[in-house]
Structure 1
Amino acid sequence: MYAAVTLVILVCLTATTHADHHQPCHSPNMTGFMSAVKIKGEMRAFGAFTYDSMGKKLRFRSNESNFVNASLSLDLLMFFEEGVFYEIDSKNQTCEKKALQCTIHPLQIPDDARFLATVNSGNPSIEGEGLKINAWVGSMPFTKGRAGFYSMSVTMGCLPVFTMYLDETTVMFSLLDVENEIKDPDLLVVPSFCQGLPVEETPEGTVNSFLNEFM
């Protein structure tokens, strides 16, 4: 993993804007599994996700995946268009509703991302052994006003493969078994026991985002 991080950083530092004509694509609706791993190898979370690309809604549940030893148990329902999200505890039927200060997440390329290059992963000359991906980079705010950096790799059909966020803490998100559909739309609906909650006050210096839940 250290080698992968070094390669990404070197590519980002040496790349030029030779392909300015590229525009960020928009991911389709998706259902699948997502992992979040810290650079030192700590598995932060692994779980199922559902993403509504048009409605800009995301549900991620790591507390239902038992075969991976992850350090976080999360159930997040994000409404990026509305700028709010819910931390859900279905067992105790409780919720916290919070404001989103940063709407960047690993399932969508930001509109201001910069295109780096198209590369082949694996062996493209053998059927089933290669994958062509587009690499994008950009900057984003993290906690306490610091600037962070991200690198996203997506397929030619705009399915994210992995995304890396580098700050004082580096986290890589990877997607598995992705299907281009919303299998259970009810997962993107606010649970009845969460409805009507006020938005909690955000402490000064805090940047609420999907990413910071994993830091």
Structure 2
Amino acid sequence: MRALVLLVCLWVGCLAQRPQPCSSPPLMSGGLSVSTQTEKLVTFAKYTYDGLGRRVRLSNIGFPDNKTYYLDVLLLYKQGVMYKINNREQTCLKRRLSTDFIPLAIPVDASLVGQVVLGSSSVPGEGILVNTWSGLLQTKKGIAKYVSTVTEFGCIPVSTLFSTDRNGWVAVSFFNNIIGLADPQDLTPPPFCSSAQLEEEAREAPILFL
């Protein structure tokens, strides 16, 4: 009997130590970079993320085909609208947002690829423990494959590879993450957007990875 109890305790202990799927903090801010396989696009963005209200703000600089562009968008998934904002000219375009909201989280059916230390494990503070997961995700536009890496403690996103038959691979790397909203006003349309009329959906490659 004691042997059985000991075996059960060891089994439970092993399960407790195995990395588990997780959700990132519901409010986050930081920076990210995006590169695509088919679009030949590299972009760097400041992001503000509200997983509770399903709102995302991206202010970025992109370099498609060796050209530079600036894009500032507010994605309101609950309302199904996207605002393309030009603060310099005080103009705003309002378009339908038909893409899925994908929260910053590891789905419960994800498969663990492995756990590694980024940096060095020789000295405390020189490395960070991360978990890499993979799986399939059903979206409105079909099945997508993903490989995501998050920190073991806090479930802070590090990188994500996202693939669909239509767009190929999209690589996203996160950096300078903070928990909370650096500026809550980023998630509210500016006053000059109040008169914007809803237009037909237009494809914006830099934001579809969300």
Whether these two folds match at TM > 0.5 is yes
Hey, what does 1:135 align to over in structure 2? Answer: 132
TM superposition shift of 1:71: 4.6
Hey, what does 1:10 align to over in structure 2? Answer: none
Query: What stretches of structure 1 of length at least 5 have no aligned partner?
Result: 1-18
SS in 2 for 1:149: strand
2:45 paired residue among 44, 47, 64: 47
SS in 1 for 2:168: coil
TM superposition shift of 1:151: 1.4
TM superposition shift of 1:39: 4.6
Say whether 1:210 aligns with 2:207. Answer: yes
TM superposition shift of 1:155: 0.9
Relative to its length, the structure with more strand (as a share) is 2
Query: Does the CA-based 8 Å contact 1:119-1:133 persist in structure 2?
Result: yes
**Count of aligned positions:** 187
Structure with max Cα Rg: 2
4+ residue runs over 4 A deviation? 39-43, 69-72, 110-113, 206-209
Hey, what does 1:119 align to over in structure 2? Answer: 115
SS in 1 for 2:192: helix
Please identify, of 117-126 and 50-59, the stretch whose mean Cα deviation from structure 2 is larger: 117-126
Query: Does the CA-based 8 Å contact 2:113-2:134 persist in structure 1?
Result: no
1:29 paired residue among 23, 27, 30: 27
The structure-2 alpha-carbon separation of the partners of 1:155 and 1:212, relative to structure 1 and needing over 3 Å to count, comes to closer
Query: What stretches of structure 2 of length at least 5 have no aligned partner?
Result: 1-16
2:73 paired residue among 76, 81, 91: 76
Using the alignment, how far apart are the partners of 2:19 and 2:46 within structure 1? 35
The structure-2 alpha-carbon separation of the partners of 1:42 and 1:201, relative to structure 1 and needing over 3 Å to count, comes to closer
Hey, what does 1:184 align to over in structure 2? Answer: 183
TM-score relative to the length of structure 1: 0.69
Q: Deviation string for 1:123-165 (max 9, x for gaps)?
A: 323222322112233334679x453211111112111001111
Using the alignment, how far apart are the partners of 1:24 and 1:199 within structure 2? 36
TM-score relative to the length of structure 2: 0.71
What letter corresponds to residue 29 of structure 2 in structure 1? T
Hey, what does 2:100 align to over in structure 1? Answer: 102
What letter corresponds to residue 176 of structure 1 in structure 2? F
